[in-house]
Amino acid sequence: MNFARKKFILLSSIIISFIIILALTFLFAEYLSRKNAPQKMSEIIDKVHLIDHNGEPFRRTTLKNKPSLLFFGFTNCPEICPTTLADLSEITKKVSSSDDAINIIFVTLDPKRDNKEHLKDYVQYFDSNIIGVTGDKIEIKKFAENWGVFYESINTSNNSYTINHTATVFMIDALGNFRGTISWGENQTSVIQKINNLKN
């Protein structure tokens, strides 16, 4: 066997091995992503006991078979939460009519301060399609963990506290399937495109 043929076989083996490793890596990543993907909203929502800002049980019927944008935060949040809710309110008005309005679900991570009365007062400053959600802290924790939401309470100097938390918006279609995320500060054009895709 001459040198050129040996070189060709060696290169071919390297390329084939690389392709196999790449394919296996992709399949493993796909497996992990499916394993760690959130449960369908229609499944997880019936496993937790939460209420909306009107004191009604937060259930599948609350969503009225419409797509939803899910966000976790707290009413004492100084910037991220009110900005996110205001931006989502403005954008959803642009891309939908009152007949096909998209739910904006705001789940508090601070049930100690955010009872249903406080939430009801808070959400009225935004669009009417916002659903405030609160409840027992253990139930909220179970719901937040389904989406991989991180949050922690931080004591402040005035004997109070604030909350560091994930600022991601989770996109859920009308069937309850997780369909992606919107990042904090994401370009409005990109967000509009994502929401339009969510409706289809």
What's the domain count of the chain? Answer: 2
Read off the CATH number of the domain in which 96 is found. 3.40.30.10
**CA atoms within 13 A of residue 129's CA, in its CB half-sphere:** 25
Residue 63 confidence (pLDDT):
86
């040198």: which residue's tokens? 3
* Beta-sheet pairing, 68-73 with 169-172: antiparallel
**Do residues 19 and 75 both lie within one domain?**
no
Closest CA to 11 of 21, 22, 3, 24: 3
Residues 6+ apart with CB under 8 A from 195: 67, 69, 91, 92, 95, 102, 171
For residues 187 and 142, state if they share a domain: yes
Q: Which pLDDT does position 2 carry in this prediction?
A: 64
30 and 110 part of one domain: no
Domain identity same for 113 and 31: no
In our burial notation (b when 16+ CB lie closer than 10 A, e otherwise), range 163-181 reads: bebbbbbbbbbbebebeee
Domain membership of residue 19 as a residue range: 1-36
Q: Are strands 130-135 and 151-155 parallel, antiparallel or unpaired?
A: unpaired
Q: Which pLDDT score is estimated for 1?
A: 56
Q: Are residues 12 and 92 in the same domain?
A: no
Assess whether 184 and 112 both reside in one domain.
yes
Q: Residue 31 has what pLDDT?
A: 37
Going by C-alpha positions, the residue among 136, 180, 117 that lies closest to residue 48 is 136
Same domain, yes or no: 17 and 74: no
CA angle 110, 146, 179 (to 5 degrees): 110
Question: pTM here?
Answer: 0.79
Q: What is the pLDDT along the chain (200 residues), one digit of tens a residue?
A: 566 666 666 677 777 765 766 455 444 433 333 444 567 887 888 889 999 999 999 998 888 889 999 999 999 998 899 999 999 998 888 887 655 678 999 999 999 999 999 999 999 988 788 999 999 999 999 999 988 899 999 898 778 899 999 999 999 998 888 988 998 888 888 888 888 888 77
Task: Count the neighbouring beta carbons within 10 Å of the beta carbon of residue 69.
Answer: 26
Separation of alpha carbons 100 and 43, rounded Å: 23
Same domain, 26 and 69: no
Tell me: do 48 and 28 sit in the same domain.
no
